[in-house]
Every structure is written in C-alpha cells, then in structure tokens.
Amino acid sequence: MMHYAGLLSEAKHDLAVQGWNMDNMGTHDWEKMVKNVQGHVKGLNWGYKSELMKLKCKYFNYYATFVDAHTLLLDNGKD
C-alpha cells in the first residue's frame, strides 16, 4: 500500500487521503500515510478474526511455522 501512495499523482482526492498536502504538491505527510495503512491492515485483520469467530473456529493469536506437511509449531512469544 505504501508504494500506491507514490502512484497517486493523477487522483487528487486519493492523494489527500494518502497524506499529500494539496497546497504544496512537493510535501508528503509520512506519519498520516503510515497511520492510514496501519488502520487499514488492522481493519482487515479484525474482519478476518470476526468471521472466524462467527464460524466458531478456534483462533490462535500465535506465529506459526510449518514443521512438516501436517504439523505447525505455534509461538505466542511468551513460552
């Protein structure tokens, strides 16, 4: 998504949303862009998690590594 912000020169509305100051096209609000990208990713993650909860899937908030074709190693950063 961050590279997308660099391709928005033809879409002025989208430029403002991505952090460009429309008064001075030479400046860019990096912090605003990062905040918007992080918010978008968090929203996507919440949507996926809520769908899993609706389906009554067991959810593990862990990092997973494939050990073999049928085994995952889970790491929650605490153990």
Average pLDDT (40-58) is: 94
For residue 10, what pLDDT is reported?
62
- What's the pTM value of the predicted model, to 2 decimals? 0.57
Instruction: Provide the pairing of β-strand 71-75 with 63-68.
Output: antiparallel
pLDDT at 5 over 80: no
User: Would you state the structure tokens that stand for residue 34, as one six-digit string?
Assistant: 């990062």
Q: What is the mean pLDDT of the chain?
A: 85
| Residues of the chain above pLDDT 70, percent | 87
pLDDT in tens, 6-42: 776 567 777 777 787 777 666 778 899 899 999 999 9
Domain boundaries in the chain?
Answer: 2-75
